[in-house]
Structure 1
Amino acid sequence: MSQILDLVGIFVFALSGALMGVRKRLDAVGMLVLAAMTALGGGVVRDLILNVRPIAFQSLGYILVPVAATVIVFFWHPHVARVMPAILVLDAAGLGLFCAVGTEKALEYGLNPLHAALLGVVTAVGGGMLRDVLAGEIPTLLYDRQLYAVPAMLGSGVMAALSSSGLHGWPATLAAALLAFGLRITAMRFNWRFPVARGVAE
């Protein structure tokens, strides 16, 4: 079940990467690169830091899902763009899932709660950062005006805190993921923004 949820999150992230490729007028190869980086980049970086073989290279599904997402966007990107509100909801779910699972995996490999939470954030937003850099955009993490990284930080922190309190397994993962998901959805619903420096125009 966890792998299925993981692949669903990867699929949604890959859609956003491929759509970025369409906006940047990239060819099919460029779209696939952005899709794969968005979907897999955070997890790969996390696993490399943990000095383990990235999970993306242990199952064929982790490679085929970004390919499938790219094909869908390549042929039907106007339709995909029209259902972006639904995709953003799924993206928020993927954000919550990845930050919780990433933190949990880091804890399993012996990292302290703070470092584990940081790796949880990397898992959730690292792929998006790589996508933005490759596409020539300022990474969202550096101007979190739409509260994207903040929910990941909160979810990862809660996951680390629950684990430190002796709460493990799917209940803790679900609680942390739902918290991050809820904050992200609420920020989207009410258009919450982080402030910029005093005196700087919005």
Structure 2
Amino acid sequence: MTIGTSEAIEILGTISFAISGSFAAMQKRLDPFGVLIIAFVTSIGGGTVRDLLLGDTPVAWMRDVNYCLLILLTSIATIFFKRHIKKFKVTLFLFDSLGLGLFTMLGLQKGIVFGLSPGICVALGTITGCFGGIIRDTLLNTIPLIFRKEVYATACIMGGILYFSLVHFQMKSDLAKVAVIAFIFTLRVIVVRYKLSLPKFGY
């Protein structure tokens, strides 16, 4: 069976966010069941919110149990290999950034399939990329990244605008997808590496 670009992106995104969620849970010293739950909500949270907004039910992970099995196996593997990975924070950041790019692209594509306007497609991409992390951080009693100084949702929005710009200038769709995923990942790395941030407001 041949796996298409969208399917490959969804599989990689699921794995990336499952690893990200697992490491976030292990940082909080949760038990294996807690790690699995956090990995699960990180991987399926954004897509679930997106599908509910679109009325596309049952939501994706309910229609294909293979994604649940993929999250389970990824979580177990992450727990098993944790002793070989010393820098939890770096690993969490890298997989979270990769998952952000992959799932943003998935949300964009879902909006396009439903025939929605580019602006709504970008919003769906942002929701798909960000909401799993929001639920994860909320459950772990951490202020979600999207509400802090780091460029997070902004990276999704910029990636979405880039995608429609590339397609407008007749770049092949698959190539544009890869370019956008790489852009979002690279932007997140640069922002964190050089401690760039949006202005903060408050008293």
TM-score (norm 1): 0.84
The one of 95, 99, 117 aligned to 1:94: 99
Quote the offset at 1:182 in angstroms: 2.2
The separation in 1 between residues aligned to 2:95 and 2:143, in whole angstroms, is 23
- Partner-residue secondary structure (3-state), 1:197: coil
1:173 has 2:167 as partner: no
The separation in 1 between residues aligned to 2:27 and 2:90, in whole angstroms, is 17
Bigger mean CA deviation after superposition, 134-143 or 69-78: 69-78
Letter in structure 2 aligned against 1:52: D
The 1:102–1:168 alpha-carbon spacing in structure 2 relative to 1, beyond 3 Å, is farther
The 1:69–1:138 alpha-carbon spacing in structure 2 relative to 1, beyond 3 Å, is same
1:18 has 2:7 as partner: no
The residue correspondences of 1:73-152 to structure 2 (distance < 5 A) are 73-82=78-87, 85=90, 88-143=93-148, 145-152=149-156
The 1:89–1:24 alpha-carbon spacing in structure 2 relative to 1, beyond 3 Å, is closer
Letter in structure 2 aligned against 1:44: T
Quote the offset at 1:194 in angstroms: 2.6
Partner of 2:60: 55
CA RMSD, 1 decimal: 2.5
Quote the offset at 1:127 in angstroms: 0.4
Structure 1: runs of 5+ lacking an equivalent: none
TM-score (norm 2): 0.83
The separation in 2 between residues aligned to 1:86 and 1:17, in whole angstroms, is 11
Quote the offset at 1:100 in angstroms: 1.9
1:40 has 2:34 as partner: no
The 1:24–1:127 alpha-carbon spacing in structure 2 relative to 1, beyond 3 Å, is same
Letter in structure 1 aligned against 2:161: G
Letter in structure 1 aligned against 2:14: I
The separation in 2 between residues aligned to 1:197 and 1:18, in whole angstroms, is 32
Quote the offset at 1:133 in angstroms: 1.3
Q: Percent identity?
A: 29
Structure 2: runs of 5+ lacking an equivalent: none
Aligned residues: 198
The separation in 2 between residues aligned to 1:8 and 1:196, in whole angstroms, is 33
The separation in 2 between residues aligned to 1:65 and 1:81, in whole angstroms, is 24
The 1:152–1:146 alpha-carbon spacing in structure 2 relative to 1, beyond 3 Å, is same
The one of 2, 5, 13 aligned to 1:9: 13
Letter in structure 1 aligned against 2:87: R
Quote the offset at 1:146 in angstroms: 2.6
- Partner-residue secondary structure (3-state), 2:55: coil
The residue correspondences of 1:61-72 to structure 2 (distance < 5 A) are 61-72=66-77
